Homo-oligomer: A and B are copies of this chain.
Amino acid sequence: MEKFTIKSLGENKIDSPLVHRTHKMFAGDGFTNDNERILKNNAYADPSDIKFEGFEKTGAREKIYFNPATTTAAIVTCGGICPGINDVIRGIVMDLHYWYEVNNIIGIRFGYSGLAKDPSTPPIKLTPEMVTDIHDLGGTILGSSRGCPPEPEIVDSLERMGVDILFCIGGDGTLRGAHDISDEIAKRGAKISVIGIPKTIDNDVGLVYRSFGFQTAVAEAKRVINCAHVEAKCAENGVGLVKLMGRDAGFIAASATMASGDVNYCLIPEVTFPLYGEDGLIEHLKKRLDKRGHAVIAVAEGAGTELIGESGERDASGNLLHKDIGVFLKAEVKKAFEESGRKISIKYIDPSYIIRSVPASSDDSIFCANLARAGVHAAMAGKTDMLVGYWHGDFTHIPLEATEERKKRIVPNQGLWRGVLTMTGQPVNWGAE
């Protein structure tokens, strides 16, 4: 039995408006069929290795489930902000309007809390005119928040507002919430499609090769690393220390290290590192400073937890909060150098709000437009309890449940991390036990 089956609200009986309006463009293979798949694993040494496991392919369906004339769609954005959210909102509104002629589109304010019984801010109507220039702005025009009211309350609100389709743009917690909302909808036998658009600046959603906003974040992180490099070079024994996003996965730190070429130590959650002792960071740093006079360290916020422990607190979405590795490293390194009578000048930079609040880069804008279009096609075709993925260059449908089980992490003996080791020259044996 196939694993990645997408749930459907019912039989698709309505002709897509695209059939008539854009016939030539959709002639031949213009529409996608539900049985089309993208292979999960496309690498093989022997053809018989290939497992026929694949993801449903996105695209316009010839028959759809919802009647555009009577459909109401809602968009909600949750969690921390990330470059590109406004691009996704824009894309959903534009595609619903221009491709499907859906005109009732509402924007939920400030995350799931806007779907509470009595939200502090009411939803707004979204139109193409309103969203036409929002991709030039950072953040989300709808506002966001963490946390989630009880699912029954949310589904009550959706039914009260007559919502047929709910687009949930958010990360781990949001997608878990979306799945629970789908369950509640199913329990009631309601016909509301729930479509997730994964938003994780850390790029750590399982089965999703690339998340929107990640490339933009890496570009901004590179800028900041450059600042740290300048600071480091301008002081005797100068060290620039930059803390980057990455609670459980170090993709931003590792990719910014690759892009920058100026980082000497890249520290990520997936690869433990000793701080003290012969092979520890501090000892290496001493040698580096003796030899070159300066150093740059990029540390993901979730790195080194084994050194400092977790703080025990959780944010409103339930994510565990780590103690601040940046502050810890700065203090420990400084202390160790002072104790051994060595001069050091550490400049610590914590740029997270600066990185996540910029508008999407040109390539992320395109990516967001494609994600949005995939989500709209899926929703109109009555699919639900799924998210829009990206795999090997194609957009895919993934059951919300499937992604929860799998988290994406950097694999130390593969391409990205090897690239980092070349770029930095840091010890190759850190993280191996």
Interface residue ranges, A against B (CB under 8 Å): 21-22, 24-30, 33, 35-39, 42-47, 50, 52, 54, 57, 59, 81, 90, 94-95, 98-99, 110, 113, 120-121, 132-133, 135, 137-140, 143-145, 209, 215, 218-219, 222, 224, 226-228, 230-231, 233-236, 238, 240, 255-256, 258-261, 293, 347, 349-351, 353-354, 357-358, 361-363, 365-366, 369-370, 373, 391-394, 412-413, 415, 417-419, 421-423, 425, 428-429, 432
Contacts and interface: CB of A to CB of B under 8 A. Distances in A.
In the complex, the 8 A-B pairs of residues with the closest C-beta atoms, listed nearest first: A392-B392, A219-B362, A259-B362, A139-B230, A230-B357, A138-B230, A227-B357, A47-B52
A135 to B, nearest CB: 6
A392 B42 contact: yes
Contact of A143 (B29, B219, B234, B361): B234
A42 B39 contact: yes
Contacts of A219: 361-363
A38 B230 CA distance: 38
A77 B328 CA distance: 31
B354 A354 contact: yes
A227 B24 contact: no
A233 B143 contact: yes
Given A44-B54, A50-B52, 10 more contacts: A25-B418, A25-B429, A99-B422, A110-B235, A137-B230, A139-B231, A140-B234, A218-B363, A219-B361, A369-B419
Contacts of A215: 362-363
Contact of A44 (B37, B350, B366): B37
18 contacts: A22-B428, A25-B421, A29-B413, A36-B45, A37-B45, A43-B57, A43-B394, A50-B52, A133-B261, A145-B236, A227-B357, A240-B353, A255-B362, A255-B366, A259-B362, A369-B419, A373-B418, A392-B392
Contact of A373 (B353, B363, B419): B419
A136 to B, nearest CB: 8
A22 B353 CA distance: 36
A116 B113 CA distance: 53
A174 to B, nearest CB: 14
